[in-house]
Amino acid sequence: MLKYPFLLTPVYKDYIWGGVKLREKWGKASNSDVVAESWELSLHPDALSRIANGALHGRNLIEVLEAHPDFAGKKCLSFPHFPMLIKLIDAAQNLSVQVHPSDRYALEKEKSYGKSEVWFILEAESGAGIYFGFKKDTDRTEVAERISQNTLTDILNFIPVAPGDVYMIEAGTVHAIGKGITLAEIQQNSNLTYRVYDFGRTGADGKPRELHIQKALDVMNFAACKAEKSDFPFVDYAAFKKRLVADNKYFFSEYYLLDSVCQLYKENCFISLTLTSGSAVIKYGDGEKLSVSKGDTVFIPAGLEVAVEGSAEFITSALR
């Protein structure tokens, strides 16, 4: 049976700002002490997810979907490349202040998708927060001056965060994840990041990390940003509750609080499931089962109906 829920083996990134929580608390079996990012569902050439179970064990997901495009579903066929990428991120230090380009700019200049993303806060230490857009209207000249004077963060919104908070970061919005935060990031399938400020940090070679100031200024939204979290209500279905996380062209994501059992099914699109708390059993086919626990990500092929049973919290992502 080739159509079954694929437990994915992630790819780890040990960037200098990363911590140990993904390894120690989320079961990520990295050889490095530092796990900054765990690329959970990725068909990006910088990190290809592999299948960790069943008949296709060991195969990378992009090869499987090329051989079986029906597993991704018809809705994916309208995109030249697989549309989304899902990560877990542990920030032991502040990430750089950065911005991502829109599709229009990225396709013209970088031959890539742009990048909008949504953050679902999983853990936050006391006082932890994010930088999210400008406090006031500004312009290219002022931002360039503040970058050179190391005062850019003075005009950025800094927002304390808590577990369960959701923030949609549109392309063009200046942003940074602050230290002490672990989050799930659902984003476009792109690795384009333009750094504008890096807190005076040096890389492994002892030199300041590369900045991309001119490109960042080309794509940046200089208008004041309200910097509000996405506050979607839960809908109660007795055996579970769920709420919307994000809904756009590239990903439709929901958050589930499961007490018993729920059914997941999409005829024309895959479903990605990332367990953020607890444990569950995914039942499918003729009595087959897949056990999953906190930190696991599963790719459910289009047209495959599954039942998720247990006491757990998880995020699903698909195309609407």
CATH of the domain at 273: 2.60.120.10
**Per-residue confidence (pLDDT) for residue 42, from 0 to 100:** 98
- The mean pLDDT of the chain is 96
Q: How far apart are CA 60 and CA 37, in angstroms?
A: 19
Q: Which of 9, 12, 52, 7 is nearest to 30 (CA)?
A: 12
Please indicate, yes or no, whether residues 122 and 70 belong to a single structural domain of this protein: yes
Is residue 208 pLDDT above 90, yes or no?
no
Please indicate, yes or no, whether residues 195 and 257 belong to a single structural domain of this protein: no
Please give the tally of structural domains in the chain. Answer: 2
**Could you tell me if residue 228 is inside a domain?**
no
CA distances from 34 to 23, 46, 57, 274, 282 (A): 8, 18, 27, 21, 31
**Could you tell me if residue 1 is inside a domain?**
no
Is residue 289 pLDDT above 90, yes or no?
yes
> Do 262 and 237 meet the contact criterion of CB atoms below 8 Å apart?
yes
Q: What is the pLDDT of residues 92-114, one digit of tens each?
A: 999 999 999 999 999 999 988 89
Return the minimum-mean-pLDDT range out of 155-159, 191-195, 207-211, 305-309: 207-211
Please indicate, yes or no, whether residues 156 and 269 belong to a single structural domain of this protein: no
Is pLDDT larger for residue 207 or for residue 146? 146
**Per-residue confidence (pLDDT) for residue 94, from 0 to 100:** 97
Mean pLDDT (whole number) for 280-285: 97
Is residue 1 pLDDT above 80, yes or no?
no
Q: What is the pLDDT of residues 138-188, one digit of tens each?
A: 999 999 999 999 999 999 999 999 999 999 999 999 999 999 999 999 999
Q: What is the pLDDT of residues 230-273, one digit of tens each?
A: 999 999 999 999 999 999 999 999 999 999 999 999 999 999 99
Please indicate, yes or no, whether residues 49 and 120 belong to a single structural domain of this protein: yes
Q: How confident is the model at residue 211 (pLDDT cuts 50, 70, 90)?
A: very high
**Could you tell me if residue 285 is inside a domain?**
yes
Please indicate, yes or no, whether residues 123 and 202 belong to a single structural domain of this protein: yes
**Could you tell me if residue 230 is inside a domain?**
no
**Per-residue confidence (pLDDT) for residue 202, from 0 to 100:** 84
Domain of 87, in residue numbers:
6-219
**Could you tell me if residue 287 is inside a domain?**
yes
Residue 61 CB neighbour total at 10 angstroms:
22
